[in-house]
Amino acid sequence: MRGAAVWAVRGAAGVLTLAGLGHTLWYGVVEPGTALAFGTLIACGELARRDTSDPRDAAGERQPAPLGSAGALAYALLGPSAAQPTHHGVLQIVAVVVAAALAGIVPHIARGRGPSADHLARRVLTVAFAAVCFQPLYNSGRLEHGIGRGPYLVLFLLFLLGLTALCDAVLAAAPAGARTGRPYGPLLRDELRAQLGIGSAICATGVVMALGVAVAGLWALPVFCVPLLLTQLSFHRITAIRTTYRQTITSLARATEIAGCTRPGHSRRVAALSCAVGRELGLSERELTVLEYAALMHDIGQLSLVDPVRAGATASLPAAEARRIAVLGGEVARQTGVPAEVAVVVERQADPYRDQPALARIVRAVNAYDDLLGGSRHPGGSLAALEQLRLGTGSDYQPEVVECLARVLARGGRDRVGQVPLG
């Protein structure tokens, strides 16, 4: 069903694109100067897009070209230009947006970093939705007759932006669900939350551009581009800081492997599978980030031990000893400056699951799975390790987490957790 929904979205976008290009080529471009100005803005926005290689960045597709998105939205909501009426329709808007976007992403495609087909389809359908809601009302005169050009028009545009943001979130969650297998509800919630960030700046800039062009003409476009460009630069810097921070956490986690306290790749495998289980449980993006950091650092307490646990297999230790190591890990984590909730998950990972926070339950079960799978106690591999976890659901492991872990492994079709992708 999810795959069918993705193909339906792509098919609808493809039909709209062909109809828009065919209509525009057949009848010509209405108001070519306006179309050229907005097309140039969209193309420049695509050229300035951020090439993302981080798989955790919402599949790399969460508004990487805000200027292009704002320009496309402004063209869809454009009424008069310098107080003169315009007559471009929905199909021409689709054609200009697609042609300009394709022109702007050519250099990115040449570097192998172009946006996915799902992202392009989503852009086409979102812009078409906004244009269908606005242009027929404007071109027929019903918008000006019923609402006018005062504050009620602004309120109408804000309402339309809310619907457009909802449409964009719905379209974004569909391919993400097909790609990751996560429940649709939490994915839609994450997409709606993302709209509050750079998405709100895009929507606001698009409306301001459309209203500014209506009064001052096309000269308003470069003026209103500056705030969004500064916002985009700020987001780039924040992303770079987050990437550096994540790399630092990963390096700290590898210290236990370098010291010989844990098996090679153990922390990475636990983090990868913990994030997969967290997505299966419907955690938010922030919760997944905390979960990943805590899973990477879950064995860091062994650096405080005079005699580290052999192969780092803390799952087989007595409960009191496992809790002591976890508390030491929480103290070390706090000294590294990680968020407080990360340190809490690290120090509570060995508690009985009924006393643990939700994220610590995931780390405990996944860590035990990797410890069991890496030892000689379970030559049967994944099935035997999962069965051992199920036997411990009375007090040690939350049953829902264990069953989510089983579903993730079954869906991946892999026995080794190191092959489960992170993000």
Q: How many helices (H) and strands (E) does the chain have?
A: 18, 0
Q: Average pLDDT, stretch 7-14?
A: 89
For residue 179, pLDDT over 80 is answered with no
pLDDT of 184 reads 75
Report the C-alpha gap between 93 and 388 in whole angstroms.
59
Q: In this predicted structure, what is the pLDDT of residue 100? A: 93
pLDDT at 22: 95
Among 24-28, 112-116, 166-170, 277-281, which stretch is predicted with the lowest mean pLDDT? 112-116
Q: How high is the pLDDT of residue 312?
A: 53
> Lowest mean pLDDT: which of 175-179, 317-321, 411-415?
411-415
Contacts of 318 (CB under 8 A, 6+ apart): none
Note the pLDDT of residue 58.
41
Q: Is the pLDDT of residue 19 over 60?
A: yes
Q: How many Cα atoms within 13 Å fall on the side-chain side of residue 209?
A: 32
Rounded average pLDDT over 388-404 = 85
**Span of 18-32, 76-90, 110-124 with lowest mean pLDDT:** 110-124
The helix (run of H) or strand (run of E) holding residue 233 is: helix 220-253
pLDDT of residue 339: 82
* Gap between the Cα atoms of 339 and 171, Å rounded: 33
Reply yes or no on whether the pLDDT at 353 is more than 90.
Answer: no
Q: Categorize the per-residue pLDDT at 134 as very low, low, confident or very high, splitting at 50, 70 and 90.
A: very high
The pLDDT of residue 420 is: 38
Burial environment of residue 250 by CB neighbours within 10 A (0 to 12, 13 to 18, 19 or more): middle
**Is the predicted pLDDT of residue 27 greater than 90, yes or no?**
yes
Eight-state DSSP code of residue 308:
P
pTM, entire model:
0.72
* Bigger pLDDT: 316 vs 421: 316
The answer on pLDDT for 273 being more than 70 is yes
pLDDT digits over 245-257, tens only? 888 888 877 877 7
Q: How many CB atoms lie within 10 A of CB 284?
A: 13
pLDDT at 314: 60
Quick one: pLDDT at residue 61? 47
Whole-angstrom CA distances from 245 to 79, 97, 188, 240, 336 are 45, 36, 27, 9, 11
**pLDDT tens-digit series, residues 301-327:** 777 665 666 555 565 667 777 788 888
In this model, does residue 90 exceed pLDDT 90? yes
Mean pLDDT, residues 156-180 taken together: 83
pLDDT surpassing 90 at residue 35:
yes
